[in-house]
Structure 1
Amino acid sequence: MDNNQLGIQAMKQGELEQAARHFTEAIEEDPANPVFYVNFGNLLASVSEFEKAESFFNKAIELDPKSGTALYGKGNVYYEKEEYEKAAKAFTSAITEGVEEADAYFMTGISLVQLNKERLALPYFMRAVELNGQDADARFQYGLCLASQGELSQAANEFKTATELDPNHADAYYNLGVAFSFEEKAQQAYEMFAKAVRIQPDHVLALNGKKLMEEALK
């Protein structure tokens, strides 16, 4: 294996210093290869060295302006730094350059949610779910966006699917309870709030919802 492959292997095994040495040697051997800078950037980002990681992603983009993986890496850095506008732009650029993966759409959507732009986030979560229907968090976030746009029935379906994929997803049960309460299905709402509380006993919203439904069912 070459130094880049050895670096990736070391990184997967958690041997980060060894990975850094291999990536450094790979760059020294071929300083014009953007992939090596992306891998080193990912390594630095994994240990929260975000400023250094960004410089490596920038170098990769300088060498290859269409490097989707470098743009995606920059998006992750911006997200961790809470620069959500920049993150959303970087993720959408990565998608434009061919990063057709569920995570890229999910991260674009979640960045837009952080900017309170749920309507714009909606199609990104929809696509994330299309690409990976087994992702409970993507289903949940898609449901929240649907609910924010008044699509409660569709939202409930997504929350239900999220609970099937992750039976310990307290927030999904809580929001499913909210959807049922809007449909005036007090018993079903109570059951969902109760499940959320069983999973997370300090879930204040679910506790309040459960109490309200208990009163409604008297």
Structure 2
Amino acid sequence: MSSSSIQSWFHKASVAMSAGNYERAVRCAENGIAAEPNNALAYYYLAESLRQLDRERDALPHFCRALELDPCHASSFVGLAYVHLELKSYDQGVEAANSAIELAPTNSGAHAVLAYLLVYALRPREAIEAADAALALNPRNVNALNAKGNALSRLSRNAEAEQCYLQSLAIMPEHVESLTNLGLVQRGSGRRKSAVNTLKTALRVDANYSSARELLLNSSWREAWQYYRSVPEFVFYKVLLQYWLFWVAVITLAFLVIKDSYFR
């Protein structure tokens, strides 16, 4: 295959990623790898597309392969750090994020993912520093704002955390993670009604966002009841329970009738 044809596959993968069509990006990157198996960029495109499809375990070896071929590719280190974040291997993630920052100190995304990792590694003060570094480079980085809010929340600085989430929503009004985090802070400060409304908004944006749904169900018994009534499994067990109660009632009544007749 010619060099121009190979580069065409990589261009198609890049375009597909930019358009959010990650399934197509995966196919294009795989075709590129088949044509040129030692091209680090192809492995990066494949790994990043898989990560965006929530297939972190599949993405992990491809990020590693990209870095074997090009140890100075900062974006691969950033992607690898996000994979470790999702896989909860926080120390490895911190190492990957720091490598990205060393290679590209002005990469706001590298500082932001480091902030996230430090929050989950229970190092909130360091997380705030990393988030501030990201925001100094890009004040509109919603990931950095959320990471900072999470760190502040861990330090019980809920009012400051709420401001971070509100800033994020001013930039991206339908950012479901920001809405969920805001709902969590509102609930923690006793504003349960506001929390329920915020979490409903999050679920209108993304009905499958499990964190928002679980938080909503834990915030309002009424919402929990309405949700579980709509779940097919719940309907099945509800019918089964009614059927069981019916026969318990029949047997109990029969027993009482027989008992009454016997002692008469």
TM over 0.5: yes
What residue is the counterpart of 1:121 in the other structure?
127
Residues 37/143 of structure 1: CA separation in 2 closer, same or farther (3 Å cut): closer
Shift of 1:130: 2.2
Residues 136/19 of structure 1: CA separation in 2 closer, same or farther (3 Å cut): closer
What residue is the counterpart of 2:68 in the other structure?
62
In the alignment, structure 2 segments of 5+ residues that lack a partner are 1-6, 201-215, 221-264
Separation in structure 1 between the aligned mates of residue 112 and residue 22 of structure 2, nearest angstrom:
29
In the alignment, structure 1 segments of 5+ residues that lack a partner are 182-189, 207-218
* Structure 1 counterpart of 2:100, from 69, 94, 118: 94
Q: Output the amino acid matched with 1:81.
A: L
1:45 correspondence with 2:51: yes
Shift of 1:136: 4.7
1:169 partner SS: helix
Q: Output the amino acid matched with 1:85.
A: D
Using the size of structure 1 for normalisation, the TM-score is 0.68
* Structure 1 counterpart of 2:179, from 169, 177, 180: 169
**Residues 101-142 of structure 1: CA distance to partner in whole angstroms, max 9, x if unpaired?**
333222111111111110121111112222332345533432
Using the size of structure 2 for normalisation, the TM-score is 0.58
Asked whether the 8 Å contact 2:165–2:179 carries over to 1, the reply is no
1:34 correspondence with 2:53: no
Asked whether the 8 Å contact 2:22–2:50 carries over to 1, the reply is no
Aligned length: 195
What residue is the counterpart of 1:14 in the other structure?
21
Separation in structure 1 between the aligned mates of residue 117 and residue 90 of structure 2, nearest angstrom:
5
Shift of 1:32: 3.1
Percent identity of paired positions between Structure 1 and Structure 2: 20
Residues 193/162 of structure 1: CA separation in 2 closer, same or farther (3 Å cut): farther
Separation in structure 1 between the aligned mates of residue 13 and residue 183 of structure 2, nearest angstrom:
42
Asked whether the 8 Å contact 1:34–1:63 carries over to 2, the reply is yes
Residues 170/49 of structure 1: CA separation in 2 closer, same or farther (3 Å cut): closer
- Larger Rg over CA atoms: 2
Q: Output the amino acid matched with 2:21.
A: G
Separation in structure 2 between the aligned mates of residue 164 and residue 13 of structure 1, nearest angstrom:
23
Separation in structure 2 between the aligned mates of residue 20 and residue 44 of structure 1, nearest angstrom:
7
Separation in structure 2 between the aligned mates of residue 46 and residue 143 of structure 1, nearest angstrom:
23
- When structure 1 is superposed on structure 2, of 125-134 and 164-173 the one drifting more is 164-173
Matches for 1:75-154 after TM superposition, within 5 Å = 75-98=81-104, 100-136=106-142, 138-146=144-152, 148=154
Question: Relative contact order: is structure 1 or structure 2 higher (C-alpha 8 Å, sep ≥ 6)?
Answer: 1
